[in-house]
Structure 1
Amino acid sequence: MSEIDKLQFKAVAYSGQQPGTRLIITGAVHGNETCGTQAILRVMQALDSGALLVRRGAVTFVPVANPLAYAKGERAGERNLNRNLFPTAQPQDFEDRVANWLCPLLAQHEVLLDLHSFNAASEPFVMVGPRNNDGPLEPFQHEEKERALARRLGVRRFVDGWLRTYGAGVQRRLRGSSELQTVLRYGMGTTEYMRSTGGYALTLECGQHHDPQAPEVAYRAILNTLAFLGLIDAPAPQPIAPEDMEALSMVAVYDKQHADDTFSRNWSSFDPVRQGEAIGRRADGTPVLAEHDGRILFPDSAAGANSEWYYLTRANPSF
């Protein structure tokens, strides 16, 4: 038996005696993002000791969604679990096996809180889904509920526009392919899959991977979610005030065209940029300039050629 075959999947469920929301909370979708795992285990300890009690509905905890990546201490086991997340009859890699277990589990719930962290130092933020729509890319009807929960997680930054922006990059890399299934296949992660089953979902980026405050951000978000959805007896958390919010929409993804493309400086997510500002330089010396005012997101100096290098966002006053 191989070391991979010795791995197993774990989910722990707590149910109240009264009806209520079915919630699932996941950690370590990426194996080097452990703040969610730490927070989940802390909440489970409180539930097991009786210090916390689920009164209504049910919550399922998945402390480690990707046990291979977690064991390696790396982002992925054999590939990125948070892309191409679909059940498959013939799994080709370990993440396909995870998907065959995780996707049906997600579908049994109504709400997902997925806990992540990020590489460069910055403050926590939450990624939300689309507006209500009946379109082909990501039809959705729970905008009000999803954004109400987002405002109660304890963070002030909100980002939307992931799938449409990421999908545009996929189409460009595949030389103009406009096939919807291709975009969905490459862009479908935990929250997108959850929405596809009729639920709603949030990705909370709790801080830098090794920030000691990141597990605290995750822990607070779990307790706020349990309270807001009525699973535990606790005061409902107050929403963040509109004047304290910063809402952004992802509008474009820019690729690293050559391995020797370089940034002009050490960018971090949410660094502001001005139109015309130098973000980097191509291998042939061509400057890469900001096309508009905004903030940079997910800059990756280690990206390979023909892959995501950074995103640009715009302020979204209508959030």
Structure 2
Amino acid sequence: MSLPTAHPTSLRVHQYLGLQPGPRLIVLGAVHGNETCGTTALHAVIEAFDQGRLTLRRGQLTLVPVTNALAHARHAREGERNLNRKLVPPAIPQDFEDRVARVLCPLLRAHEVLLDLHSFHTAGEPFVMVGPRDNDGLLEPFAHEQAEAALAASLGPRLIVEGWLETYARGVERRRAHPVTAAQAMPDPQFGVGTTEYMRACGGYGVTLECGQHDDPQAPAVAHQAVMRTLRLLGMVDAEVAEPAPQVPAAPDTAHTVMCLFDVVDCEHAGDRFTREWASFDPVQAGEVIGHRDDGRAVLAQTDGWIVFPNPRAQVGQEWFYLAQASARAL
């Protein structure tokens, strides 16, 4: 009889401290355990430092190739829950991800800049998720819009997406009015807080880079390119350093396209189904049928835009897909 896999008991961190003052950057991989492109890329960066091909000139660099070790060992998105939701350091941990959060949150607070490397379910082009404009509101006050936009624009992908937490909060209001599961009966807008939102709440800034589909062989190259470009942007390595990496295909359009999430649609029944195999950033037109509910009702696009994060395997009560429209924001 096989014994259950023991829960990991530590978080492995690789840290480099420059002898000259500079930015404090942290890069995360495998916040979701089956999103391994960041892990692969960070191991390559660590090897380059160890072999002397890279040298940290200033500042503090922290690399965490596997942030959620339990989920990673299971090759699953989650260990016991989603680490990238309601990320807070709990006083009394209730699950494995709570124990990670108690270590990860102070680590994030000790830094100024975050690059979080992810991938997604279905086919689609890599993209960068950024936070809000500078504001002093209650949901996500922020004061580093320009620095965060410069980071997003430097990473390589041409697609930039904003509006995550605001859209998630709107979804929470809808769930409060019409919960379809017991877990949705008392939703919390702060459930949408993940690594980057926590970083902004602590006075820093950061972006999530979605490097492509989970098994896309180019995704680790996208992640590696982003780490190197971030280090150069922040002046932490010499600008002329050309660390070898797999070639990343050029984007079809060098100009950035900025879009804003505005709606999230949940799965309400196990029989909910898409009309076709959607990929992130497939365009949709107002009135187009995206899917059907179990009882046959059509789910329509409210306006022209794009579908984002379509999840044909979504469970009841989970996000089924997001919708985005063109943003007036300029990087």
Q: Same fold (TM over 0.5)?
A: yes
Structure 1 counterpart SS, 2:303 = coil
Structure 2 counterpart SS, 1:244 = coil
Partner of 2:188: 182
Partner of 1:36: 38
| Displacement after TM superposition at 1:300 (Å) | 1.1
Paired residue for 1:275, among 286, 296, 300? 286
Partner of 2:125: 123
1:203 is the counterpart of 2:201: no
1:293 is the counterpart of 2:299: no
What is the rounded CA distance, in whole Å, between the counterparts of 1:132 and 1:33 in structure 2?
A: 30
What is the rounded CA distance, in whole Å, between the counterparts of 1:279 and 1:131 in structure 2?
A: 30
1:75 is the counterpart of 2:77: yes
1:196 aligned partner, one-letter code? A
Partner of 1:192: 197
Structure 2 counterpart SS, 1:202 = strand
What is the rounded CA distance, in whole Å, between the counterparts of 1:301 and 1:5 in structure 2?
A: 30
| Displacement after TM superposition at 1:282 (Å) | 1.4
* Residues 9-88 of structure 1: pairs in structure 2 closer than 5 A: 9-88=11-90
- Work out the percentage of aligned pairs sharing the same amino acid: 55
CA contact (8 A) 1:228 1:236 kept: no
TM-score of the two chains, using structure 2 as the length reference:
0.91
The answer to which of 295-304 and 102-111 deviates more is 295-304
| Displacement after TM superposition at 1:7 (Å) | 3.3
What is the rounded CA distance, in whole Å, between the counterparts of 1:278 and 1:171 in structure 2?
A: 24
CA contact (8 A) 1:7 1:67 kept: no
1:79 aligned partner, one-letter code? R
2:19 aligned partner, one-letter code? Q
Q: Over residues 75-120 of structure 1, what are the superposed CA-to-partner deviations in whole Å (9 max), with x where a residue is unaligned?
A: 0000000001100111000000000000000000000000001111
Aligned CA-pair RMSD = 2.0
Partner of 1:314: 325
1:108 is the counterpart of 2:110: yes
| Displacement after TM superposition at 1:176 (Å) | 7.6
| Displacement after TM superposition at 1:6 (Å) | 4.4
Partner of 2:269: 258
Partner of 1:213: 218
| Displacement after TM superposition at 1:69 (Å) | 0.2
Q: How many aligned residue pairs are there?
A: 313
Structure 2 counterpart SS, 1:251 = strand
| Displacement after TM superposition at 1:286 (Å) | 1.3
The unaligned stretches of length 5 or more in structure 1 are none
Structure 1 counterpart SS, 2:188 = helix
2:188 aligned partner, one-letter code? T
The verdict on how the C-alpha distance between 1:4 and 1:167 changes in structure 2, with shifts beyond 3 A counting, is farther
* Residues 136-175 of structure 1: pairs in structure 2 closer than 5 A: 136-175=138-177
Partner of 2:183: none
Structure 1 counterpart SS, 2:134 = coil
